[in-house]
Structure 1
């Protein structure tokens, strides 16, 4: 891989993983738009690990509190601690990905075989789920925080997250949409989405690593390291500024971007 390609894809993954605009869609589209070959599975793993490291570092205090609280609740069998309750809800919201991830992964592998088909799918999901995000942001009550999430809410968010394996959907976008539909504030929906990324990316990265080990392809470790480092730095900054300004700017800029991107893809394909 050329250095400029590594930097581009690391930046794309870092900024799109936590914005509601689809990282998987952009990682597929970027090589097509700039004339590169589709990057290897190993590179995808490295940039996802970079974003995983970023979200863990950013929420390190919350993660430590939740882990300790969840362990304490296992001893006492009580969920009075808000951190314990939030931790269990995050684990519950991860279950649909565990159950549906492999069947949906086969759909993704089929789509990746046809560049035109996957471009059309990305265009459709980018526009369609952009509309859903706009509706949820416009109609949501925005009166709850992430600590108020119950088991039904967690299951709903988890089921919607499972759909995000289809390129263009956006994992963060669909989970933030679900949170807004359930009455969470923009920041609460975003925080729950970002925390949910930790177990989700961890599991996805583990599965991709197993596939990588089975493939036994030659590995360019310098490319993987550089891509992961770039995605880490960009993702950390993205999380910080997104959470800082989202209550003021709303979801509209991201919705408009999704409409524009979907339209450009359709224009290029047709």
Structure 2
């Protein structure tokens, strides 16, 4: 049985990936990593799952979660928070910040580096890392949120993984939307070329499914790609993931 660890399992996309793995109990044994007991209770209310608590910014807390893991899906990400006092009626723009210990540098670079190192120490055979489109542009608006430079730090972690010697798949989705998965045609690209088209977003559930499919197809290994989806009324829902991954030629 393939043991798969999903980090960031308490997040919206991470929880979807963890649940999808649990639904495939004949193929995978799902394990989740969260930061707090509250997050653990949220995704494992009945105690039937395998959810561990650890802090990716503190590498000494990670080995128990990585013990016996065959594949790793990294879905951790820093989350900006809006500064209080914003009034939409004023016509201004909201300001954002990152909590101490939760900045992009700490979470998306150091935290992901710690996970990659822990995976290497544990003998993990495949790492799937979910980043974001926009990383080729240092002036992307997402980098300005809280002055966190989030895409720059994500890109640095992606590069570290690609040079780690571990088999990997780097997935860079467009804007994440909370729509039902499995209803859209998925489009892959590279170097942010999809940002110049009308297909810039993708349901979180589809991103979670792509993570699972990457574990199942050799064609996804040692590749990096952008991914987005067509509108529901355009094209046909993607079911042939082997062909989707075979269309990817980029390794970073």
Which TM-score band (shorter chain)?
Answer: under 0.3
Structure with larger RCO (C-alpha < 8 A, sep 6+): 1
More strand per residue: 2
Say which structure is richer in helix.
1
Using the size of structure 2 for normalisation, the TM-score is 0.26
TM-score between both structures, scaled by the size of structure 1: 0.24
